[in-house]
Amino acid sequence: MRLDSIFAIAEQYDTLLVDVWGVVYDGVHPLAEGVKALNKLKQQGKIIIFVSNNPRPSNLARMTLQQLGIHGTINIVTSGDVMRSLLQEKHQGQKVYHLGRARNKDLLSGMNLIEVDTLDESDFVILSCFLEEAEDFSQFDPELEYIAKQHLLVYCPNPDIHAAHENTLRKTAGFFARRLEEKFGGQAWRIGKPNAIIFDFVNAQFPGILQDKQKALMIGDTLTTDIQGGQQYGIDTLFVEDGISGLLREYCDVKPTYTIKTLK
């Protein structure tokens, strides 16, 4: 069903799970109509929880949302939050090789882990690297090949393959997880949408919020993460067409409950 405005269906839902990039943010600037709509929905009493495949702790993403103009209390869960929780539960005191540390030092900040400089020292690997469109995407191939040959345990705390950034397409961690698997035969565990682990984490952080799934709506711009994840978890979905899937002209079999050109 195609919508001109989210307010055509808003009364059906109590809880809105909202992606960030492509919905209220283009990587540099706020998407003003989306910000305005969410602020109005909050005023109407809707529970809004941002659910982002951002491999950083949510306190940093919350600051970004405040700067974008989201008012009041900001509820947010990032894949970085989920990753940190899993590491605390399963890997305290272990040695980790962080492929992506140069551009993402926040993910492991303050954790009881030993960050090592070579793969052969590591107990497991975190893959959070990203590259801008003009950068050589094969530069991580030696590490990816070694990881695959040694059958190392790999976590990817951002399953997204691309992100829009200043009218370019940034290659994000999911791109390199896919390359690890398809080119070198390795395996990566994806921590974030579309996997249920992040929705379960939302429900744990906000108990009972998804108990009545008919009253929840997932809003996002990526068919293979936001929309597929919402569907697999059993909630309705709203696909924002002007986001990353539209930019890539991405096609997949996932059919959202609703579509809208931009969130408004």
Give the pLDDT of residue 11.
Answer: 97
- Give tens-digit pLDDT for 43-67: 999 999 999 999 999 999 999 999 9
Tally of residues, the chain: 264
Give the pLDDT of residue 250.
Answer: 58
Q: Nearest-CA neighbor of 158 among 61, 232, 246?
A: 61
Band (pLDDT 50/70/90 cuts) for residue 168 is confident
* Residue 110 φ/ψ region, left for φ over 0, alpha for ψ in the -120 to 50 degree band, beta for the rest: left
**58 vs 105 pLDDT, higher one:** 58
For the residues 22-40, what does the mean pLDDT come to?
92
- Give tens-digit pLDDT for 106-125: 999 999 999 999 999 999 99
CA distance 251 to 86: 32
Amino acid present at 17: L
CA distance 156 to 80: 10
Give the pLDDT of residue 253.
Answer: 79
% of the chain residues with pLDDT over 70: 96
Give the pLDDT of residue 105.
Answer: 87
Mean pLDDT of the chain: 94
- Give tens-digit pLDDT for 187-207: 999 999 999 999 999 999 999
In this predicted structure, the answer to whether residue 246 has a pLDDT above a threshold of 80 is no
CA quadruple 98, 104, 105, 109: dihedral, nearest 10:
-90
Domains plus CATH for the chain?
2-80+193-260 (3.40.50.1000), 81-190 (3.40.50.1000)
For the residues 94-109, what does the mean pLDDT come to?
95
CA distance 156 to 197: 13
